[in-house]
Each structure stands twice: as structure tokens, then as C-alpha cells.
Structure 1
């Protein structure tokens, strides 16, 4: 259990390349077996052989040209963005938010639960990485993808609120990319 705790801190500190694996090992934290211990040692072996992974903060805009654009104003004419009442004036160069969302349907073989994965970029800088098992067991891949998208939207809403409170200007809406475009064909505002 201590080794899992160390791995979880490593993920928090920026080693997102082992995020999904640490999540899978955390599932067996209550009753670990010998095989789980060997898998954790294998993770530490990977980290030892790949010590120089780093997060690059790049302020250049991410050029995404293949995203289908949709306008939902005609369907929701009353909808408007709720801004914080004590929001300071936005100063500086605007940032573009891009979110990548995916779900692996029924990937946890013991419980048949799905996993959600979310990556959120500000310009080219990856600032949020999220991998967690879903609370409910979905009967279809559509349900697991939709649950993953809901989680991603909640993360983006929290990030947008934090940026607005700090006075960071936001360039338009959040471009959302999913693996299967039949699930989502719009941009999250």
C-alpha cells in the first residue's frame, strides 16, 4: 500500500505516463496479492529506466483545423455563460482550451466498469490529466463515453472558473475531441 501511495504522488507530480497503471493497481489496495506486488515493482522498474520524462509548457496555440463546428444558439437561445460576480478584468494574451476525452468500456475485468481518461491543454501546455474508474457499470460503449464526457465537462467548467477568477482571458470555447466522433459532434462552451 505504501508503494501505491508513492506512485500516486508521482502521478500528481507529473508522471502521467503511468497514471492509468497506477489507477489499476489502486483498485487492489485493500487486498493486494503477490501478483499485484510484482506489477507494482514492474512499474518502479519502468520509472527507473525512464527517469527523464518531463512536462513541457508551451504557450503556442494548438492549431486544430479538423474539428467540426456547430452552433447551438438556435436550440438554446436563453443559455448564457454564468460569470463570477467578483471576476477581475481579464488582462494579457487569451488562452485556448482543448480537451481530449476517452473511455475504455468495461476495461476493469473484475467489475466490468469503464475507465475515464481526460487531458486538458491550455494552448500547448498539458495542465490537467485525469484517469479514474467510472462509478456505474455502463451496458454500452455509448454510455461509458457519455459518462467520460460529463466528467470532462465538469473539469473544464472548474478550470474556466479558476482562470476567470485569476483574470486570464479565454479564447472562445473549449474544443473537445473524442475518439469516436459519432458520440459528440459539438464543442463544449
Structure 2
């Protein structure tokens, strides 16, 4: 990696997944909102590629997102780990336990990726309630105003 230049930035990421929100295909929706120094720089909402059998799996698939590598390649220094907020307590607990395993292959790949990032202190996953998780708005159908 190139040598980092300038002042270090702090990363914070909010992640949410709405399990099986598509009533036809039962695919989940991922919502991600990434802040650099308290400024939102990336936000998106997209349908997950695979159909997950649990909200636990949906959340791990949503966590399979990263910005750190891109910033480092642009020579931006990063201050510590990325605070990663999710609203699924099982995800928070299992991401920090090396003895945890998953049987479903698609989930286990995302799970092992996230667990390795936690083990090397690149990210720290913390619980953020649904009411305060700002990525929640990216996974729900929003009602609009009707036009006459």
C-alpha cells in the first residue's frame, strides 16, 4: 500500500438488512451508510443476490462491505478501527467469538470475512437499536405523498 498522507480519518458504518422483504422472491434488502469524520459519504440500498433463511444471515451478507482498502489506496490514513453498527445482537455476539461456525456456505464466507476483520481490529461491531440505526431507513419501503 502507498504511504498514508495527511490527517487520519475516523470511520463509522451503519448496516441493516430487512429479511425476506421482497414478497415475490423473498430476497433481503441491504442498507449501508458510511461516515468519514461524521460526514456521510456512501449510502445505498440494494437487493441481496442470494435468498437468506434468517435475518442473521441477511445481516452478515450486508456486513460484507468495505471502504478501508479504497481509502488506504488513495493514501488516506485511517484512525483506528471502523465502528460498525448493526441492530441484530446475534451478529454482534457471534462476530467476536472464534468458536462460532455456520453451516450455510454463503453465510459462512461472509461470516468468516467479518470475523477476520474483527480479529485484526479493522472493525468493531456494536449493537445499535432499530430506532436509532440510521441505515434502517434504507431497508424499508417509505410512503410518499400522493399527488392529485
Normalising by the smaller structure, the TM-score range is 0.5 to 0.7
Q: 2:63, 2:70 → 1: CA distance? A: 20
Unaligned runs of 5+ in 2: 97-117, 123-148
Counterpart in 1 of 2:26? 112
TM-score normalised by structure 1 residue count: 0.48
- Say if 2:27 and 2:47, in contact at 8 Å, map to a contact too: yes
Counterpart in 2 of 1:165? 73
- Say if 2:56 and 2:90, in contact at 8 Å, map to a contact too: no
Q: 2:37, 2:79 → 1: CA distance? A: 10
Q: Which has the larger radius of gyration?
A: 1
Q: Greater helix share, 1 or 2?
A: 1
Counterpart in 1 of 2:145? none
Counterpart in 2 of 1:131? 45
Q: 2:84, 2:34 → 1: CA distance? A: 9
Q: 2:49, 2:70 → 1: CA distance? A: 26
Deviation at 1:163, TM superposition (A): 1.8
Where in structure 2 are the equivalents of 1:14-53 lying within 5 Å? none
Counterpart in 2 of 1:183? 91
Deviation at 1:124, TM superposition (A): 0.7
TM-score normalised by structure 2 residue count: 0.60
Number of aligned pairs? 97
Runs of 4+ in structure 1 deviating by more than 4 angstroms, as ranges, are: 185-188
Provide the aligned C-alpha RMSD in A: 1.6
Match of 2:35, SS? strand
Relative contact order: is structure 1 or structure 2 higher (C-alpha 8 Å, sep ≥ 6)?
A: 2
Counterpart in 1 of 2:14? 100
Unaligned runs of 5+ in 1: 1-83
Deviation at 1:102, TM superposition (A): 0.5
Counterpart in 2 of 1:5? none
Q: 1:106, 1:95 → 2: CA distance? A: 35
Q: Greater strand share, 1 or 2?
A: 2
- Say if 2:10 and 2:36, in contact at 8 Å, map to a contact too: yes
